[in-house]
C-alpha cells in the first residue's frame, strides 16, 4: 500500500496543521468550561453535568477506531476539516434558546464535539509524520515536531478553560458560543483551501477490518496508553476536584484555576520533552518503560503522605507537580513512538487505533474515579492510579528497546 502524497510535504503544511489544531483546541477547552459552569448555574447536579460529557468520550473511542480508515480513503486534510466544521456545528447547536437545552440535546451536541475533537487529533498527529523531512536526524525531528504539537495543544486547552469562563462572565453563554463558532468556521475554510488534497490518502483502499493493528509494538503501545491515561483520570476527574473542595477547603474558582494552570504547565513540559531528554537521539521503548516506572512512584507517594497525616495541601501540590512533569514526558514519548512505529501508508489507521485505546482508557478512568472515590476515598483513587501506571510500565517492557522496527 503506497500513499499518493509526497514523502515530505514541508513545514508550511506543518504550520497550517498546527494553527488549525490550536484554534480548535481553544474552542474545545472553552466549550468544556462553558458547559460545566453554565449548567452548574442552572442547578444541574454534578452527576447530571458529568453525563453531559458521556457521549463525548464514548464517541471519541468510536471515532478514533474508524477515523484512520476514513482518512486513508478521503485524505487527512478532509478528516481534519470535517472535524473542524463538526465543531462549528456543535458550538452552534448550543447557541440556541435556553429552552432547547435539555440533557439529551446537550449530550448530542457534545457527542458531535467529541467526534470533531478526535478527527482533528488523529488528522493532526498523523499529518506530522507525513510532513517531517526524511534523511539524517529524521527521528529526532519527528520527536520534536510531535512534542511541540501535543504540548502546545494541551497548553491551549488550559487557556481555553480560562477563555470559556471569562467570556461566559462578560458576554453570556449563547453569545460566546456563537462567536466561537463563527471564528472557527473562518479558520477551517482557510484550512480547507490551504492543505494538500491527497495528504494521507492511499492508492490501495484499506478494508474496515484493518483498523485493528497487526503490529505487535503498536498493540503493546496502545495497551500501555490505555493504562497510562486511565491512571490520570482515575483520580483527576472526580477524586481530585472533590478532595480539593471538601478536604483542602478550596472554592470552585480556586479548584478550576488550579487545574487549568496545571494543564497549561503540563503542555509546556510536553512541548519541552525533547530538551528534558537531552542526550537521547530519540526515545525508544526503554524510555517509555523507565519513565512509567518513575511515574508510578508519585500517586503512591501522595497516597502514603496522606495516610501518614502530612499536610494535604502540600502533599497534593508537590505530588501533582511531580506527577505532571513525568506524565507529560511519558505522553510525549508515547506520541512520538506511535508515529515512529508506523509506515507512512498506515500512519492514519495506526494513530486512530492508538487514540481509540487512549479514549477507552480515559473513559475507564472516568468511570472508575467516581466508584473508587465513593468506595475507598481519595487514597483509593491514588492506589488505582498506581496500579494502572505499573501496568503501562510492564507492557512497555515488551516494546523494542532500540527503536522502531518498521
- Phi then psi dihedrals of residue 83, to 5 deg: -60, -40
Calculate Rg over the CA atoms of the chain.
Answer: 20
In order of 35, 39, 89, 183, the CA distances from 92 in angstroms are: 13, 17, 5, 12
Pairwise CA distance, residues 339 & 283, whole Å:
12
3-state secondary structure of 137: coil
List of residues 6+ apart from 11 with CB closer than 8 A: 131
Angle made by CA atoms 211, 335, 107, in degrees to the nearest 5: 65
- How far apart are the two ends of the chain, measured CA to CA in Å? 14
Pairwise CA distance, residues 187 & 87, whole Å:
12
The residues pairing with 202 across neighbouring beta strands, listed in sequence order, are 3
> Structural domain boundaries of the chain?
11-396
3-state secondary structure of 343: coil
pLDDT of residue 91: 95
In order of 154, 157, 164, 236, the CA distances from 264 in angstroms are: 6, 7, 15, 15
Per the confidence metrics, is the pTM higher than 0.75?
yes
CB 311: neighbour CB atoms within 10 A? 12
Q: From the first residue on, what is the mean pLDDT of each consecutive set of 10 residues in the chain (406 residues)?
A: 45 84 91 82 74 82 80 82 95 91 90 92 80 67 82 85 84 93 95 76 55 77 95 86 84 77 89 75 86 97 95 93 94 90 76 86 85 88 97 94 53
Pairwise CA distance, residues 211 & 162, whole Å:
37
Pairwise CA distance, residues 232 & 251, whole Å:
22
Q: What are all long-range contacts of 237-241, with beta carbons under 8 Å and residues at least 24 apart?
A: 237/365, 237/366, 237/369, 237/370, 238/50, 238/366, 238/369, 238/370, 238/373, 238/381, 239/369, 239/372, 239/373, 239/378, 239/381, 239/382, 240/316, 240/320, 240/378, 240/381
CATH architecture of 11-396: Up-down Bundle (1.20)
Q: What is the DSSP letter of 397?
A: T
List of residues 6+ apart from 249 with CB closer than 8 A: none
pLDDT of residue 137: 67
Q: Minimal CA–CA distance to 56: which of 237, 271, 245, 316?
A: 237
Amino acid at each position: 500500500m503506497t500513499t499518493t502524497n509526497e514523502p515530505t510535504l514541508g513545514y508550511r503544511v506543518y504550520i497550517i496543521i498546527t494553527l488549525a489544531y490550536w484554534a480548535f483546541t481553544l474552542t474545545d477547552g472553552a466549550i468544556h468550561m462553558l458547559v460545566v459552569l453554565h449548567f452548574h448555574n442552572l442547578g444541574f447536579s454534578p452527576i447530571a453535568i458529568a453525563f453531559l460529557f458521556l457521549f463525548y468520550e464514548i464517541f471519541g473511542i468510536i471515532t478514533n477506531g474508524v477515523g484512520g480508515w476514513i482518512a486513508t480513503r478521503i485524505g487527512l486534510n478532509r478528516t481534519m476539516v470535517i472535524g473542524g466544521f463538526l465543531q462549528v456545528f456543535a458550538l452552534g447547536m448550543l447557541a440556541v434558546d435556553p429552552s432547547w437545552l435539555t440533557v439529551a440535546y446537550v449530550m448530542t451536541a457534545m457527542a458531535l464535539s467529541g467526534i470533531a475533537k478526535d478527527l482533528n487529533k488523529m488528522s493532526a498527529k498523523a499529518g506530522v509524520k507525513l510532513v517531517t523531512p526524511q534523511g539524517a536526524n529524521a527521528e529526532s525531528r519527528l520527536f520534536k515536531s510531535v512534542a511541540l504539537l501535543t504540548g502546545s495543544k494541551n497548553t491551549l486547552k488550559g487557556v481555553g478553560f480560562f477563555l470559556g469562563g471569562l467570556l461566559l462572565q462578560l458576554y453570556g453563554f449563547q453569545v460566546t458560543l456563537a462567536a466561537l463558532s463563527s471564528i472557527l468556521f473562518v479558520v477551517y475554510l482557510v484550512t480547507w483551501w490551504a492543505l494538500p488534497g491527497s495528504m494521507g490518502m492511499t492508492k490501495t483502499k484499506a478494508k474496515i477490518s484493518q483498523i485493528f493493528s497487526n503490529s505487535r509494538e503498536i498493540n503493546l503501545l496502545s495497551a500501555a496508553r490505555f493504562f497510562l491515561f486511565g491512571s490520570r483520570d482515575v483520580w483527576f476527574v472526580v477524586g481530585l476536584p472533590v478532595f480539593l473542595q471538601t478536604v483542602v477547603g478550596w472554592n470552585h474558582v480556586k479548584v478550576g484555576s488550579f487545574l487549568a494552570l496545571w494543564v497549561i504547565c503540563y503542555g509546556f513540559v510536553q512541548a519541552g520533552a525533547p530538551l528534558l531528554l537531552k542526550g537521547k537521539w530519540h526515545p525508544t521503548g526503554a524510555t517509555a518503560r523507565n519513565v512509567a516506572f518513575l511515574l508510578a512512584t508519585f500517586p503512591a507517594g501522595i497516597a502514603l503522605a496522606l495516610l501518614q497525616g502530612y499536610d494535604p495541601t502540600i502533599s497534593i501540590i508537590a505530588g501533582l507537580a511531580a506527577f505532571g512533569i513525568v506524565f507529560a514526558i511519558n505522553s510525549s514519548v508515547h506520541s512520538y513512538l506511535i508515529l515512529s512505529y508506523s509506515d507512512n501508508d498506515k500512519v492514519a489507521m495506526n494513530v486512530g487505533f492508538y487514540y481509540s485505546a487512549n479514549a477507552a482508557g480515559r473513559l475507564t478512568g472516568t468511570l472508575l474515579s467516581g466508584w473508587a472515590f465513593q468506595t475507598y476515598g481519595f487514597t483509593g483513587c491514588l492506589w488505582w492510579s498506581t496500579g494502572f501506571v505499573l501496568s503501562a510500565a510492564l507492557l512497555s517492557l515488551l516494546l523494542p528497546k532500540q527503536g522502531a522496527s518498521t
